[in-house]
Amino acid sequence: MRVILASASPRRRELLEQIGLDFEVMASDTEEKTKHSAPEKLVEELSRQKAEAVLERLPGGEGVLVIGADTVVARKGMILGKPGNKKTAVKMLKKLSGKSHYVYTGVTVLYRPQEGETPTKVRRRTFHEVTKVTFYKLSGQEIRDYADTGEPLDKAGAYGIQGIFARYIRSINGDYNNVVGLPVGRLYREIKEWLKS
């Protein structure tokens, strides 16, 4: 079966390669819009939008499995996405320094059967995973130095746990891979159980 990751994230690509999945990458070009403010609802909705946008671009008749994902960081009800610039990254890291926060990843899997297969309708499974992360207290200089690397600019919450920022992680409660960007253990189980049913 053709498997497509609806994301250009190199981290998600590495995670799927790590579990031995044979897949293609086709980034979603959809404009991300949601009315949800609860992080778990927001990431599920955005993961659905990404997966559906990619499925719509694929020609009919071919059996395909599309995986969409979205990750955010949340602290005290405030959602922290990708900072995009150094100033915003510094602000985010100051908020998270010495404290705990939660990383939410929503995942949507769409399965479109091959022509002639039954059932003929597209099947969808959406779920989310949550991981609690605690930082050591960071000095202002440490925050500025990390922001200067450019690493935090395209990462939810302004940090990459798999990079140099690992030195500031005090504890993780939950799935580490979820913080990187894709809970691949849960994803594999969901796909396996789902396709058996």
Name the residues annotated as catalytic. 70
The two most distant CA atoms of the chain are separated, in Å, by 62
b/e per residue 18-43 (b: at least 16 CB within 10 A): eeebeeeebebebeeeeeeeebbebb
Burial of 167 (0-12, 13-18, 19+ CB in 10 A): exposed
Residues 6+ positions from 5 with CB-CB distance below 8 Å: 12, 13, 16, 23, 24, 25, 26, 67
CA dihedral 43, 1, 7, 122 (to 10 degrees): -40
Q: Residue 111 to residues 8, 17, 51, 68, 88: CA-CA distances in angstroms?
A: 20, 20, 10, 12, 38
